[in-house]
Amino acid sequence: MKLTKSQIGFSLLEVLIVMVFIAVIAGFVSSSMTKSLKKTKIRAVSKNLVSALRYTRGQAIVKHEQKTISFNVKEKTYKAPRKKTVHIMDEMELYVFTAESDIANEDEGSIRFFSDGSSTGGWVKLVYGEKIWKINVNWLTGEISMVEGASS
């Protein structure tokens, strides 16, 4: 049997159906990748902040003197002792709760660590879209812990 030109290939309707199907799948994939990317970004920033807090505590213990890590919530920055100022992404929100004695003004505050490892305590919360990470600093032990999805 010999095929004519109209029987060879795909019809326009078949091609359009396949293209719509591919577009729907691509939409789902990109949506899930965006959510995953947000979670990865906030996790990286949180881990860097935890590292800076632990470094500050370690310096207080090693140097046998008080050390502070300072925060500026308006500029979204923090600075550990003898380190560069770290800027947090503009899309992210930064909240800090600390002892009243360590609040310089409504935008600036710090968490202080003592030579025995204890601290003034407090917490730092990072919010990126619907993702929330809270970093707690225990005042008695100076222990630093991170909680994903903390709402308060």
Residues 62-101 have pLDDT tens digits of 999 999 999 999 999 999 999 999 999 999 999 999 999 9
What average pLDDT does the structure give for the chain?
89
**Taking the model in full, what pTM does it have?**
0.76
- The reply to whether 31 falls in a domain is yes
- The reply to whether 23 falls in a domain is yes
- The reply to whether 7 falls in a domain is no
- CATH of residue 63's domain is 3.55.40.10
Please tell me the distance from the alpha carbon of residue 152 to that of residue 150, in angstroms, as a whole number. 6
What pLDDT, in 10s, does the model give residues 12-33?
888 888 888 888 888 777 766 6
Query: DSSP state, 92?
Result: S
Count of domains observed in the chain: 1
- The reply to whether 8 falls in a domain is no
- The reply to whether 6 falls in a domain is no
In this model, does residue 140 exceed pLDDT 70? Answer: yes
Q: What residues make up the domain containing 45?
A: 13-148
Enumerate residues 6+ apart whose C-beta is below 8 A from 121. Answer: 98, 99, 111, 137, 138, 139, 140
Provide the pairing of β-strand 122-128 with 131-137: antiparallel
- The reply to whether 1 falls in a domain is no
